[in-house]
Each structure stands twice: as C-alpha cells, then as structure tokens.
C-alpha cells in the first residue's frame, strides 16, 4: 500500500496516530506503516445486538468493550450498575427501559445513540460524560429521576434527548460547535438554568414547556446564536424566563436579529 497519501503534514500524522492509540488503547508511537496495519487489523470488541435483551437475571455489567450494540440490554429491569471503562459507542436503545439502573460509568464514551438510556425513570439520577460529543434523539428521554448531567464536550443534542427529564435543574456544556435540536429539553419542568456559553444553534421547541427556566447563558458565543423558526417556538411556554445573557460586544447584534428581537426584553448584556 502507498502510505504517501497520509504524509500530508505533522498534524495529519499526529491526528492519525492519536486515533490509532484511541482505538487500540495504546500509548505507543507508530510509523505510518504500523498505523495502517493497526487500523486494518483492529477488531473492536462489541457486545452484540440484542445480546442480553430482557434478561432479568443481570444485576450489574462490567465490560471492557468498545461498543454496546443496539438493544443489547434493553428491558433488563434488574440491572442496577454499569461500568464500561473503554466503551466509546452506545447503540440504539442499548439500556432502554433498564428501569432499575442507578449508576453508569462511561468515561470514554463519544457517542450515545437514540434512546440508549431512555425510560430509566426511577433511579438514574446523574451521569458524567466527559468525552461525549454526540447525544442522539431521546437518549435520556423520560428519565424523570435525572437531576444532573455533565457533558462538557457535547456538540450535538438530538430531539427529545432530555425530554421530560423532569427532575433536571441545570445543564451546562461548553463545546464550541454545540447545537440544541428540536425539543431536546422539552418539559424539563425543574430546569432553572441553562448554561450554553458557546451554543451556535437552537432549534424549535428546544426548551418548550420548561416552565421554571429563568436564565439562559450564551455569554461566550463568538456570533449571534441562530434561532430556527424565527425564534417563535424555541422558548414556548417558558413562562418564568427572565434573562438571556449574551456578550456585551454582541448585545446590539442580538437586538438587531429578527428572531432574537422577540426576546429583546429578556436580553442581558454580560
């Protein structure tokens, strides 16, 4: 194989080597040929699709897998603890309806697909996702016990991702490309503060029916955050929303934006 196509610049090689080390959980240095060989021969460890579907005998899971397949532990209603120290991807519905789940550790997880942890309504109160960049539609939908979540690097939050997570009181994320997609926080009835300091995009009904939401922080954006649907539906029925904090240098730009003009009485220069 001709490896010259990979010898573009130092950054390209560094990124490729970092990717290989991430895939293989290695700290070794790699030559271009070794990198290609590692990529071609790498076999990720995957818990198969439907592997433990509706298994009521499972109470805990510890696995060094790289990925949990779709519906692998769906409806495992005796499952209380999950520790996946190397897992990078949770497939569709992976732990959906695992209603006794109390804790889950996902320190390396990058992607959580639709309804992967949805409908765990009674016990899962918090989760830390330090490296997650993608949260799919309905990922935590109807998790009514969820009070806090740490997602500092998330870039995409899908529709209804936290829909009806009615115990959540605050949410914070910092990734520079973060977008809030349609209805992602719909009916989070106890959500009081949304800190989205660099959020670039907010879609319709993103915070619909967050009746106790008082403050939204967009205080570190580099440009005016885009509101879809002309801003008409993004904050529907947020009856207690009083302040939307924006950077002082962009305050006039927000006021001049036709969508944000609907909320001119709530915009606060920060």
Same domain, 1 and 112: no
Determine whether 132 is exposed, middle or buried from the number of CB atoms within 10 Å of its CB (0-12, 13-18, 19+).
buried
Number of domains in the chain: 2
Top-confidence residue, 135 or 172 = 135
Domain hosting residue 162, numbered range: 45-269
Task: Give the pLDDT confidence of 21-65 residue by residue, as tens digits.
Answer: 666 667 766 666 776 776 666 677 899 999 999 999 999 999 999
- CB 65, CB 45: distance < 8 Å: yes
Task: Give the pLDDT confidence of 156-213 residue by residue, as tens digits.
Answer: 898 899 999 889 888 877 776 677 877 899 999 999 998 888 888 898 899 999 999 9
Helices 32-41 and 10-24, axial angle in degrees (round to 10):
40
List the CATH number of the domain containing 120. Answer: 3.80.10.10
Same domain, 50 and 35: no
Same domain, 85 and 104: yes
Same domain, 33 and 51: no
Closest by CA position to 246, among listed 204, 173, 197: 197
> Using CA atoms, how far apart are residues 89 and 70, in angstroms rounded to an integer?
10
pTM for the full model?
0.79
Boundary residue ending a domain (11, 27, 43): 43
């Amino acid at each position: 194989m001709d490896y010259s196509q990979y010898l573009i610049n130092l950054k390209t090689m560094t990124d490729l080597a970092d990717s290989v080390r991430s895939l293989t959980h290695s700290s070794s240095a790699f030559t271009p040929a070794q990198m290609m060989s590692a990529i071609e021969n790498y076999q990720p460890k995957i818990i198969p699709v439907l592997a433990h579907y509706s298994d009521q005998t499972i109470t805990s899971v510890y696995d060094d897998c790289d990925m949990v397949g779709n519906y692998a532990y769906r409806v495992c209603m005796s499952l209380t603890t999950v520790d996946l120290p190397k897992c990078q991807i949770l497939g569709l519905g992976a732990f959906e309806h695992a209603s006794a789940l109390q804790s889950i550790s996902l320190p390396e997880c990058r992607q959580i697909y639709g309804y992967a942890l949805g409908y765990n309504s009674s016990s899962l109160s918090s989760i830390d996702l330090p490296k997650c960049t993608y949260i799919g539609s309905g990922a935590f939908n109807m998790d009514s016990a969820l009070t806090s979540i740490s997602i500092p690097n998330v870039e995409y939050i899908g529709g209804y991702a936290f829909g009806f997570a009615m115990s959540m009181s605050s949410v914070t994320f910092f990734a520079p490309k973060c977008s809030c997609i349609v209805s992602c926080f719909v009916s989070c009835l106890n959500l009081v503060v949304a800190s989205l300091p660099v959020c670039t995009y907010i879609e319709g009904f993103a915070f619909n029916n967050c009746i106790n939401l008082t403050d939204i922080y967009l205080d570190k954006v580099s440009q005016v955050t885009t509101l879809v649907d002309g801003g008409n539906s993004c904050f529907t029925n947020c009856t207690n929303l009083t302040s939307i904090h924006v950077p002082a240098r962009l305050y006039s730009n927000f006021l001049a934006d036709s969508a944000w003009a609907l909320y001119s009485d709530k915009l606060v220069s920060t």
